[in-house]
Amino acid sequence: MTTMVKDAAAGEFHPVSTPDYLPQAQLRALQLGRLKGMVLRAYQHQELFRQRMVQAGLTPDDVESLEDLPRLPFTVKTDLRDTYPFGLFASPMQDVVRLHASSGTTGKPIVVAYTQQDVAVWSSVMVRTLAACGLHAGDIIQNAYGYGLFTGGLGAHYGAEALGATVIPISGGNTDRQIMVMRDFGVTAICCTPSYFLHLLDRASEMGVDVRSLPLRAGVFGAEPWTDELRLHVEQAGGIKAYDIYGLTEIIGPGVGSECRCQDGLHLFEDHFYPEIINPQTGQVLPEGQEGELVLTTLSKQAMPMIRYRTRDITAVLPEPCPCGRTIRRIRRISRRSDDMFIIRGVNVFPSQVEAALLTVEGTLPHYQIILSREKGLDQMEVQVEVTPEVFSDKVRALEELQKKLSRALENALNIRVQVSLVGPRTIQRSEGKAKRVIDRRNQ
Ligand code: ADP
Ligand code: ZN
């Protein structure tokens, strides 16, 4: 319990965070009890799940320990689409107090539901998230996640209020006003996507505002993959600590996992969301430490239980205890989602590999876009990358030199030839939410 006191001294401990520190045995017992209840609930109220259980010759009684979980059928994203809009709800609409939908990065939106209790759990895991990022009552939090059907805005909002902080519900967009508010209201923490914060920093410097001189000390960034290189950049340019948080609509929204002050992996709030890592090809469960697809089972969700939901996010469960004292397990930062990957001339490429390679070369801004096309039947990959105003106004020689360096860095990282185009500052379109990194014109 000494670690709890230490964290409390750092202003990090909130009573709602108590489950973060449960002794292992107690945590596993809690998980098993909840899992049994969840499987029964899904079996009784989710037609699709019951059918699959029957096909597999299973009943809820077959879950006697956490080790039985791999015997249960998976749930996948298309299940949500196929049963659109309300087919997986396990509560009558009368008990549903909120609906959300995914941002639809990969197609038709999917709809999710919350009971009053689900909303309370969501707030509590967001309090635990913000507390793990070192925030507390007294902080002034600018919430620039989009409010609306997207879960980011309201998720962070309720968490920040329940934490006792002051929330500024500014939502995404209107960047000049964001900067004015950040400066005038004495904002100490901001919640948004990492790519939007990068945009805010650029705009602030154009407006002559030095974010480093403001009280802002923490960024709570999630909803899209971002690299350690980008973290270093925004921490230095913003004079903040940048924390990674993780969540997805299907499971609850933001609040599934969060970094702590160690910034070394994200703690999963596993008393509510039970993790497994599987081989995405075979579906086999992999041992701790090995990388694969994250599968999550909700343990307390009433309106929409998710049993063994395949997230398509690639990570590993880290077996080592965290120096912060939390006993809930961590996952490695999610560098990619399996549906982000594109194949070019037979080589698998993730946007995060491109980002990491670009950020090793000085003179560019971390704004980039990947354009895929097909010429004479051959796949072509172009990476457009913005260069700093200083470099852009430099001599042609310097630009050529930079272009060569970037091509080399990319070819080393990806093992394929890539065309690099240097573009001026602010030419690549900015997003208020998730950045769109890849434009695929190969089938046009
Ligand atoms: P979608 O983007 O599928 O429309 P969501 O808005 O629910 O739906 O986004 C959830 C997805 O966003 C996750 O499955 C994951 O791929 C990505 N994501 C969320 N947080 C992070 C993070 N911190 N790092 C990397 N990816 C993240
Ligand atoms: Zn920790």
* Residue 211 pLDDT: 98
Question: What's 367's DSSP letter?
Answer: E
Determine if ligand 1 sits within 6 Å of the CB of residue 246.
Answer: yes
pLDDT per residue, tens digit, the chain (444 aa), is 444 444 444 555 799 999 999 999 999 999 999 999 999 999 999 999 999 999 999 999 999 999 999 999 999 998 998 999 999 999 999 999 999 998 555 667 799 999 999 999 999 999 999 999 999 999 999 999 999 999 999 999 999 999 999 999 999 999 999 999 999 999 999 999 999 999 999 999 999 999 999 999 999 999 999 999 999 999 999 999 999 999 999 999 999 999 999 999 999 999 999 999 999 999 999 999 999 999 999 999 999 999 999 999 999 999 899 999 999 999 999 988 877 788 888 788 888 889 989 988 888 878 999 999 988 888 899 999 998 888 888 788 888 999 999 999 999 988 888 999 999 888 998 888 888 899 989 887
Task: Please check whether residue 441 is in contact with residue 372, taking contact to mean a CB–CB distance below 8 angstroms.
Answer: yes
> Which atom number of ligand 1 is nearest to the Cα of residue 313?
16
Residue from 150, 154, 224 whose mutation best tests the ligand 1 pocket (most atoms within 8 A of CB) = 224
Give the pLDDT of residue 104.
Answer: 59
pLDDT value at position 3? Answer: 45
Q: Give the pLDDT of residue 2.
A: 42
* pLDDT of 392: 81
DSSP assignments along 206-234, one per residue: HTT--GGGSS--EEEEESS---HHHHHHH
CB 105 near ligand 1, within 6 Å: yes
Nearest to 275 by CA among 112, 70, 413, 37: 70
435 φ, ψ to 5°? -75, 145
Contacting residues for 171 by C-beta, under 8 A, at least 6 apart: 143, 144, 145, 146, 147, 148, 153
pLDDT value for 5: 41
**All residues with CB under 5 Å from ion ligand 2:** 260, 262, 322, 324, 326
Which listed ligand is nearest to 339 at the C-alpha?
1
Bond before 321 cis per omega within 30 degrees: no
List strand residue ranges (DSSP E) for 5-155, in order.
96-101, 111-115, 140-143
DSSP string spanning 220-278?
A: EEESS---HHHHHHHHHHHTSEEEEEEEETTTTEEEEEE--TT-SSEEE-TTTEEEEEE
Query: Is the distance from the beta carbon of residue 311 to the nearest atom of ligand 1 less than 6 Å?
Result: yes
φ, ψ (nearest 5 deg) of residue 217: -125, -10
Amino acid at 240: I
What is the residue with the minimal CA distance to atom 20 of ligand 1? 223
Q: Which amino acid is at 378?
A: L
Cβ of residue 104 lying under 6 Å from some atom of ligand 1: yes
Q: Are 171 and 192 in contact (CB under 8 A)?
A: no
Q: Which ligand is nearest to the CA of 355?
A: 1
Q: Is the CB of 338 under 6 A from ligand 1?
A: no
Length of the chain: 444
In angstroms, what is the span from residue 38 Cα to ligand 1's centroid? 24
3-state secondary structure of 355: helix
Dump the DSSP string for 185-201: TT--EEEE-HHHHHHHH
